[in-house]
Structure 1
Amino acid sequence: MNRAELADFLRRGRARLEPSDVGLAPGARRRTPGLRREEVAALAGMSVDYYTRLEQSRGPRPSRQMLTALARALRLTEDERDHLFHLVGEEPPRRDAASAHVRPGLLLVLDRLYDSPAQVVTDLGAVLAQNALAKALVGDVLTRPPRERNLTRRFFLDPAARALFPPEDYPAHARDHVANLRAVAAARPDDPEPAALVAELRAESEEFARLWEEHEVSLRRPGTKRFLHPVVGLLELDCEVLLSHHSRHHLIIHTARPGTESHERLELLRVVGTQDMTPTEAVG
């Protein structure tokens, strides 16, 4: 591990970013350019002390999960992310369509959608990134262990994950999850990840196993979703699904039609934010 080079790389990466680049308010005039250490630490989900020690060449060896979080927080390109891993003596993640690395441009779009809940999700349903309003609506998924960030797995295996949907909408959500997973699994016959998820859900969920046998196929499509937020109440939101440069990363955006009660409630959620109303469960 090259601590000096790592510290310099982190400092330079932090200095080149403005708050608006990562979805933060500019705030008061800054003495030096770039983000503050505490802002990078918050974006990466680590303590300020831990990040400060990394920049001072005295921190412990970061885990692969921590390196991935730092790459996302600093909006690194794939080349820069690989360099970060090399500085720590780690092999970079695979460069393919299944990569969990979200391109900086897509993260910038995500951050600019301040008035609409939005998140980046893989074709298998793994949440890779969320903006602030998405966290306020459905919870901060990225605080969970990687295995628990998959929306399809949680919908069928964690009863609490359905708490933000009206019960009468459960059957439609279940069918959508199963139909999407079947389409993805068929498109990636040599990839063990979809097959493993299917096998797990067929073994653990009778509902999933029954729906799987019906052989319905449908990829994620735009539509309307209803959310039961514990504070602002019922929201009926239009769901748009946009593809990134490869079809395995989806940008999912929820919007409310102006003039509706849902629009007023979504605006209330945006104003209040996550101060005291973050749901304990995260769904999508």
Structure 2
Amino acid sequence: MDRQELAGFLRSRRERIAPADVGLAAGRRRRTPGLRREEVAQLAFMSTEYYTRLEQGRAPRPSREVLAGLARALRLTDAERDHLHHLAGEPPAPPTGPSREVRPSILDLLARLPQAAATVISAAFEVIAWNDLAAALMEDFSALPRHDRNLVRKAFLDDRNVYGVSDAETFGRRSAMQLRAAAARYPDDPELTALVRELLDGSAAFRELWESHDVSDQPTMVKTFRHPLVGPITVNCDVLDIADRDQRLVIYTAAPGSPSEEALRLLSVIGTQRMSVEGDGVEEHPGVVR
């Protein structure tokens, strides 16, 4: 552990972050550049005393959990996170399971797509980020526990045709193939292992697909959602790989000038009104990982 280099690195990362970047008010008497030590400690879920000792080069070696909290609080890039681990004498370990952390730039992108419904999907098919229009088109993911945000679980264990999509069978086949590949990449992840076991025990269709050992399929380019309020909406489906996080950004757009584009526009208004009128006091933020 290089205490002095670690201390200098933490100070430099703290001082570059504006309070507004992490949702804090700047205030009138802020005399330090960037964040205060106590603010970093709060964001990283640790005591101010311990964080102060880290910046002073007097703290014992931080655990991996502490390093993860610091990386999150200081909004470190992947390269900076690895550097932090090396300075602390804890080389970064390979991930045991699919990443659920979405880059801030991807969250910003979701918010900048007001005419498209967009989600971020983990390698385990969990919806981990979304924008307002995606919530209006599919469902309010913020109201669901993590367990119920998994699309492959919905495809095989939900009796309903999920979201009324036209390609439900194709999606089920493709998701089973991709889940098998993910299980091979993360053999030590207990959540992924439990998900596969749940699907094998609960769905004969999934079990048949799983036993085929297929791991690839052609992506769906166009699909139709049957929405209960605005009817069928046919959209282009573009999937962009976020390779460094093993995630996928899924973007649904309607053809310009089409009835589906008008339906999406109407749905964006209905969805916004629904959240403001029926809200239960919880403020909704598009694209936030929950």
| TM-score interval, normalised by the smaller of the two chains | 0.5 to 0.7
Q: Which runs of 5+ in 2 are unaligned?
A: 1-13, 26-37, 47-64, 82-91, 277-290
- The structure with more radius of gyration: 2
Relative distance call for 1:245 and 1:207 in structure 2 (3 A) is closer
Relative distance call for 1:137 and 1:180 in structure 2 (3 A) is same
Instruction: Name the counterpart of 2:164.
Output: 165
Distance in 1, matches of 2:263 and 2:206, equals 33
Instruction: Name the counterpart of 1:151.
Output: 151
Distance in 1, matches of 2:151 and 2:93, equals 23
- Identical pairs, percent: 37
Distance in 1, matches of 2:104 and 2:93, equals 17
Aligned-residue CA RMSD (Å): 4.3
- Partner of 1:108: helix, strand, or coil? helix
**Deviation at residue 95 of structure 1 after TM alignment:** 7.5
TM normalised by structure 2 equals 0.61
Please say if residues 154 and 162 of structure 2, whose CA atoms lie closer than 8 Å, have aligned partners that are also in contact.
Answer: no
Instruction: Name the counterpart of 2:257.
Output: 259
The amino acid of 2:207's aligned partner reads: A
Relative distance call for 1:152 and 1:165 in structure 2 (3 A) is same
Instruction: Name the counterpart of 2:216.
Output: 218
> How many pairs were matched up?
225
Q: Deviations over 1:227-250 (max 9, x none)?
A: 111111101111111112415111
Relative distance call for 1:129 and 1:94 in structure 2 (3 A) is farther
Distance in 2, matches of 1:189 and 1:76, equals 25
Please say if residues 223 and 235 of structure 2, whose CA atoms lie closer than 8 Å, have aligned partners that are also in contact.
Answer: yes
Please say if residues 162 and 168 of structure 2, whose CA atoms lie closer than 8 Å, have aligned partners that are also in contact.
Answer: no
Relative distance call for 1:261 and 1:277 in structure 2 (3 A) is farther
1:15 to 20, 26, 31: 20
Q: Which runs of 5+ in 1 are unaligned?
A: 1-8, 18-34, 38-53, 83-92, 279-284
Instruction: Name the counterpart of 1:43.
Output: none
Please say if residues 237 and 256 of structure 1, whose CA atoms lie closer than 8 Å, have aligned partners that are also in contact.
Answer: yes
Aligned ranges 1:17-166 → 2 under 5 Å: 76-77=75-76, 96=95, 98-160=98-160, 162-166=161-165
The alignment status of 1:191 with 2:188, answered yes or no, reads yes
Relative distance call for 1:75 and 1:225 in structure 2 (3 A) is farther
2:241 to 243, 247, 257: 243
Please say if residues 220 and 241 of structure 1, whose CA atoms lie closer than 8 Å, have aligned partners that are also in contact.
Answer: no
